[in-house]
Structure 1
Amino acid sequence: MKIDSLDLGERPVILAPMEDVTDPSFRYMCKRFGADMMFTEFISSDGLIRDAKKSLDKLNISDAERPIGIQIYGHLIDAMVEAARMAEEANPNVIDINFGCPVRKVAARGAGSGMMREPDKLVEMTRQIVNAVKLPVTVKTRLGYDDESRIIVELAERLQDVGVKALTIHGRTRAQMYKGEADWSLIGQVKNNQRMHIPIIGNGDIDGPVKAKEMFDRYGVDGIMIGRATYGRPWIFKEVKHYLASGEVLEQPSVIERVDIAKEHFRKSIEIKGDRVGVFEIRRHFSSYFKGLPDFKETRFKLVTANDPIEIFQLLDFVAERWGNFEEIKSMIYRSPLSGKE
């Protein structure tokens, strides 16, 4: 699969952009386990042009993360064009436009998937961004705003016509949020439309290697993007790629192995962000790493409230000691939560 001249190989497995999740330390872990491409958290165009620190900080990427895309969102065309130029200065591999976020505070302003209520404006915004930057521009979107406006088949053609180099489609409408099952049939229609020649990346409800292969085989997509199933499970990229190559389902990491992974993630978090912010940003991941452990509530509370890195490492050692000897837990199938943003 190629995005313009960027070659991602056959059947790439891509990390979805997720607010408050795909920060640099989590991207580091996903890359270590084989993510073929990654995206930043989405970045507000308004925040960028106002020089808001939180938005500017999200532009920080490293060569070790490549290939990587910077994703922007907003509802004003001029602001989005300027934000795209600013994102290009950070030198990612692609600029990605978010037309998929269903969260009320984003969509209600006409940004994210709220833009799907105004497809003409959506296409014009995309056209102007494509013309304003030299990097490839990609788009992530949904099937439509609601069940009465599933416009993705026509919209995909229009986006291709204005110069988009790849399209990621989440198989739900904005109205669905994350409820119900993702409908991949329309993703398949886009992919199998003879007029389409850009890569089509499918997204939605991929929770493991078997589902990933099924989506490739059934709908013929060029790549898949995984979001919520990566929570506490960055090794899912290794699982999927191994299964695609061999047909073998890998055994899930033991509790002790998960502790080692969580420690590595935590070290990277404080290395990049410092002790205070690094501690704060790792908390959202700890619950997911150890989801399903019995009688874990008290230890979980300590993990997500402790402020001293030394204390946190000691708590992780306690997790390994307390739960690491349970063979039935070591062999259980670990399931990531299907909640959150993607």
Structure 2
Amino acid sequence: MKIAGIEFRERPLFLAPMEDVTDPSFRYMCKGFGADMVYTEFISSDGLVREGAKSVAKLNISDGERPVGIQIYGHLIEPMVESARIAEAARPDVIDINFGCPVRKIAGRGAGSGMMRDVPLMVEMTRRIVEAVKVPVTVKTRLGWDEEHRNIEEIALRLQDAGIAALTIHGRTRAQMYTGEADWTLIGRVKNNPLMKIPVIGNGDIDSPQRAAEAFDRYGVDGVMIGRATYGRPWIFREIRHYLDTGELLPQPSVCERVEIAKRHLAKSVEVKGERVGVLEMRRHLSNYFKGLPDFKPTRLQLVTLTDVNEINATLDYIAQEWGGADLSGAVPPPLSHGI
């Protein structure tokens, strides 16, 4: 499979762009476990044009995560074109346009999946961005606005004509948000339309190796994008790749293995963002690594309230000893935080 001049191995796996999730440290982890391509969190075109610190910081990418896409969103053509130029200066491998975010504050003002209510504007915006930059432009979108307007088959062809290099489709309408099951049948129809010449990447409910294999084998997509199933489970890419290559299921990482993964993730977060911000932004990830452990609530609260890296690592050592049976003679139960 190829996206413009970017070559991928057979049946590639993509990390979905997710706000407050796919920061540099998480992309680093997923890349290490075999993600073939990763994406930044989505970036506001208005924020980039106004040089907002939070938006500009999201342009931070590194050579070690390539190929990497920067995703932008907005509802006005001129700011989107300008933000694409700004994003291009950060040297991504692709610029991805978000036409899929269903969140009310985004879609309600016509950005994200809200653009699906004005297909001519969506197509014109895409065409202008393609013309404005030299890197490949891709799009991520949904099946349509609602059940009465599941018009992705028409939209896909029009976006292809506008010059995009690949299309990712989340198998739900905007009205569904993240409820119900993703409709891969319609994704498959887009892919198997003989008029479609660009790669089609499927997204939605890929939470196991078996589902990923079905997406490739039954629906014929060129790639699979994985989103929510990566929370606290960046190794899902390794699991899926092994299954695709061998037909065998890998065992889940042990508690001790998950502790070491969490430590690596924490260290990368601190390296990229400094101790204070790196620790604060790791909180959303840390407790997800240990979902399902019995009697874990007090320790989970520690993980999401501690601010010192050494104390967090000591807590992780305690988890390895208490739930993983690791021989860590220095590990002790973490002290309760104030007010807990």
- TM-score scaled to structure 1, two decimals? 0.95
* Displacement after TM superposition at 1:105 (Å): 1.0
Residue in structure 2 matched with residue 104 of structure 1 by the alignment: 104
* Displacement after TM superposition at 1:8 (Å): 1.2
Residue in structure 1 matched with residue 201 of structure 2 by the alignment: 201
Q: Distance in 1 between matches of 2:80 and 2:198?
A: 23
Q: Alpha-carbon deviations, 1:216-266, whole Å to 9, x = none?
A: 000000000000000001111111111100000001100000000000000
Residue in structure 2 matched with residue 306 of structure 1 by the alignment: 306
Q: Distance in 2 between matches of 1:90 and 1:155?
A: 29
Question: 1:282 is paired with a residue of what secondary structure?
Answer: helix
Residue in structure 2 matched with residue 290 of structure 1 by the alignment: 290
Q: Alpha-carbon deviations, 1:167-213, whole Å to 9, x = none?
A: 00000000100000000011000001010010000000000111100
Q: Distance in 2 between matches of 1:270 and 1:184?
A: 39
Deviating beyond 6 angstroms after TM superposition, the runs of 4 or more aligned structure 1 residues are none
Q: Distance in 1 between matches of 2:100 and 2:325?
A: 43
Residue in structure 2 matched with residue 219 of structure 1 by the alignment: 219
* Displacement after TM superposition at 1:287 (Å): 1.7
Residue in structure 1 matched with residue 9 of structure 2 by the alignment: 9
Q: Distance in 2 between matches of 1:215 and 1:65?
A: 25
Q: Distance in 2 between matches of 1:138 and 1:10?
A: 19
How many residues end up aligned between the 2 structures? 326
Q: Alpha-carbon deviations, 1:78-126, whole Å to 9, x = none?
A: 0000000000000100000000010111111110001111111001100
Question: 2:245 is paired with a residue of what secondary structure?
Answer: helix
- 2:155 corresponds to 1:152: no
- 2:234 corresponds to 1:234: yes
Residue in structure 1 matched with residue 256 of structure 2 by the alignment: 256
Residue in structure 2 matched with residue 180 of structure 1 by the alignment: 180
Q: Distance in 2 between matches of 1:4 and 1:254?
A: 40
* Displacement after TM superposition at 1:325 (Å): 2.9
Q: Distance in 1 between matches of 2:151 and 2:233?
A: 33
Aligned pairs for 1:10-89 (under 5 A) are 10-89=10-89
Q: Match for 1:118: what amino acid? A: D
Runs of 5+ in structure 1 lacking a partner?
A: 327-342
* Displacement after TM superposition at 1:62 (Å): 0.4
Residue in structure 2 matched with residue 334 of structure 1 by the alignment: none
Runs of 5+ in structure 2 lacking a partner?
A: 327-340
Q: Distance in 1 between matches of 2:56 and 2:105?
A: 20
Of all paired residues, the percent bearing the same amino acid is 71
Question: 2:127 is paired with a residue of what secondary structure?
Answer: helix
- TM-score scaled to structure 2, two decimals? 0.95
Q: Distance in 1 between matches of 2:141 and 2:9?
A: 23
Residue in structure 2 matched with residue 121 of structure 1 by the alignment: 121
Q: Distance in 1 between matches of 2:193 and 2:9?
A: 22
